[in-house]
Amino acid sequence: MKPETKKDHKEIAMNKELNKLYAGSYVMSDGMVLKFADVNDTLKLIIPGAPEFVMYPEKENEFFLKDFDAQCTFTLNNEGIVNEIVWHQNNSNPKGTRYTEPKQLTQKELQEFVGKYEIPELNITYPITLNGNELIVTLPKTFLSVGIDTKMKIDHTSGDNFHGSLGKIIFKRDVKGKITGFVIADIGRIRNIELTKRD
């Protein structure tokens, strides 16, 4: 892989009304949701638990950040509607599609996901508990060595799909609709780690 060539970015003046076209949430391929908001005629990236990041325009549909090295391209379709973005960071250009946030799950619905999940052949257990309205996955302590908190909050994105610090998490059900396990879609070089729910 060729080393990334850093580009100098220069802010331009633009029609602030365009920010309204770009505002909204976009779900990335790994399940992470990026939210953009038009705050006092300034487009900002909103990430839960983090400060708001200002998006600086360098073209009418291309923005960059000064807080860290990343850029975003908003793609307009033939009708002038933005339903897709391309996020540029670390030599990677993943796409995201416009996303409507699902209704908040009820306590009863969240309770379905609570339980102990395991990788039988490795004798590793990942308990999931409910703290208020938040589902928490307790990870093995080995994750601390790579700087990942062992109490991983997972956010509902759609259906039985969630997102946490390990990326996209997909729960599986049997024919009766009972949760039987979940899959961690991608951890670096390891993909589709499957865990089974204990009865």
CATH for 162: 2.40.128.50
CATH of residue 90's domain is: 2.40.128
80 and 120 share one domain: no
The model's pLDDT over 174-186, given as tens digits with 9 standing for 90+, comes to: 999 999 999 987 6
112 and 190 share one domain: yes
Structural domain ending residue among the three candidates 99, 120, 135: 99
- pTM listed for this prediction: 0.66
Query: Does residue 3 fall inside a structural domain?
Result: no
Do residues 124 and 134 lie in contact, with contact meaning Cβ atoms separated by under 8 Å?
no
41 and 75 share one domain: yes
Tell me which H or E stretch contains 182.
strand 179-187
Residues with Cβ < 8 Å from 13, sequence gap 6 or more?
none
114 and 190 share one domain: yes
Residues with Cβ < 8 Å from 82, sequence gap 6 or more?
21, 22, 24, 61, 74, 75, 76, 98
The model's pLDDT over 132-159, given as tens digits with 9 standing for 90+, comes to: 999 999 998 888 887 888 999 998 888 8
Number of domains in the chain: 2
28 and 94 share one domain: yes
76 and 158 share one domain: no
Structural domain ending residue among the three candidates 82, 99, 116: 99
Q: The tokens 């961690």 sit on which residue? A: 184
On average, the pLDDT of the chain sits at 88
Query: Does residue 157 fall inside a structural domain?
Result: yes
Query: Does residue 173 fall inside a structural domain?
Result: yes
Query: Does residue 53 fall inside a structural domain?
Result: yes
Query: Does residue 8 fall inside a structural domain?
Result: no
What letter represents residue 165's amino acid?
S
Structural domain boundaries enclosing 32: 16-99
Q: How confident is the model at residue 1 (pLDDT cuts 50, 70, 90)?
A: very low
